Amino acid sequence: MLTSGIIREKRDFVIEKLKVKNFDATEITAKIIETDTRRRDIQVRADSLMSEMNRISKVIGKLYAENKKAEADAARARTGELKEEIKELSLKRAEAEDLLNELLVQLPNLPHESVKPGKGENENETIREGGKMPAMSEDALPHWDLIKRYDIIDIELGNKLTGAGFPVYKGKGARLQRALINFFLDEGEKAGFSEILPPVLVNEESGFGTGQLPDKEGQMYHVTEDNLYLIPTAEVPITNIYRDVILEEEQLPVMNMGYTQCFRREAGSWGAHVRGLNRLHQFDKVEIVVISHPSKSYETLDMMLKHVEHLVNLLELPYRVLRLCGGDISFTSALTYDFEVWSAGQKRWLEVSSVSNFESFQSNRLKCRYRDKETKQNQLVHTLNGSALALPRIVAALLENNQTPRGIRVPAALIPYTGFDIID
């Protein structure tokens, strides 16, 4: 979340930067400055009255001791008036602060200087490609046909039990799913990430802390009776571990990862590109989350990108890395890279990971800070996260890219986890 101080000092800069995200901040920043000025003026007036009340209170006893009852009674009456006026000002200040916060949470994060303007995903920039394209025939099957042929994932049974977007994994399909989760966690541990198994339900404060609320409530499953939300990603609970926490500088970076089931309503999704495993309401994902020193967060982002790239290389998947343009980057992110893998059966690229630096946007909401070892001052940290990896489209690409006359080949890196080398 941006601060009123930044907006007061750099309003023109903020307006220009948010144009990259196709967001017109002209009107709202004016309201923020106006509200912040009113809040400050109220505070100055309240402080002045408080000072006057304290000064008068100190002399009341002395006046009574000197038998100056009339003056003492008048002074006491004045302190009563001042208390009431201060109380009224306190209410007005609270109203101004509430309005200021309501306005501030409507502003997206400022994009990094490398983010290019653009309207949507078609204007994202491919920064590199890797892996070897599979030598597949033109009649390669999409995964929704393969899962039926080998009876490993049952879409219809999921529809029966719950509804669309909740598949049932069976036999070698379930084993493949479990293998991928353990593989991602083991590789994350090798890279220095500590594993956390968090809850999949979070409260409203946690949703606000990482920016899902109030921006994405329409995409989240809400347990209304308890006012809890099913998580869209492990980013939410893992990052919120550090809400209202002050870290020592030498503790940074804090590197965590977690496997969770994730839940997204995906309201309005339809069409051929959401068939099969392409877009689900419940899915498995391993997330990496880093709390970083501000001066090193972009080095951290590069490290996270290399980790995800390492995973897709081990899975022998052709991939490309995209830098998202202003029209496709999220509300909370300063800079995001997407990883896409090639889907031989669908003959298109599938997004399997987003890796983002939020700079201090989330930490300002979370009140997550570190203590500078030289100045001893508390400073906001930078937060980052990335999918490492989301399973549904990885499974789709693995099935489609590795289909053979014998069955579906399992990549060598996964065989120790699956216990089999072919799905037949």
| Per-residue model confidence as pLDDT tens digits over 129-184 | 999 999 877 789 999 999 999 999 999 999 999 999 999 999 999 999 999 999 99
Name, in order, each residue with C-beta under 8 angstroms of 28's C-beta and a sequence gap of 6 or more: 103, 106, 107
Q: Is the predicted pLDDT of residue 299 greater than 60, yes or no?
A: yes
CA distance 336 to 86: 47
pLDDT at 272 over 60: no
Q: How many alpha carbons fall within 13 Å on the CB side of residue 20?
A: 24
Overall average pLDDT of the 302-324 stretch: 98
For domain 121-423, give the fold: BirA Bifunctional Protein; domain 2 (3.30.930)
Domains in the chain: boundaries: 4-104, 121-423
The structural architecture, per CATH, of the domain 4-104 is Orthogonal Bundle (1.10)
pLDDT digits (tens, 9 = 90+) for 321-375: 999 999 999 999 999 999 999 999 999 999 999 999 999 999 999 999 999 999 9
Domains 4-104 and 121-423 share a fold: no
- For 193-250, the pLDDT digits (tens) are 999 999 999 999 999 999 999 877 789 999 999 999 999 999 999 999 999 999 999 9
d(CA 45, CA 89): 8
Strands 194-195 and 254-263: parallel
Q: In what order do the strands lie in the sheet with 228-230?
A: 201-203, 228-230, 222-223
Per DSSP, what are the bridge partners of residue 78?
A: none
- In one-letter notation, the amino acid at residue 24 is D
Predicted local distance difference test score (pLDDT) of residue 87: 95
What does pTM read for this prediction? Answer: 0.92
Average pLDDT score over residue span 27-44: 97
- CA dihedral of residues 397, 401, 405, 406 (deg, nearest 10): -60
Kindly report which listed range (21-35, 214-228, 361-375, 383-397) carries the lowest average pLDDT score.
214-228
Q: Please identify which residue in the block is written with the tokens 């969770």.
A: 260
The residues annotated with a catalytic role in the active site are 264, 279, 351, 354, 393
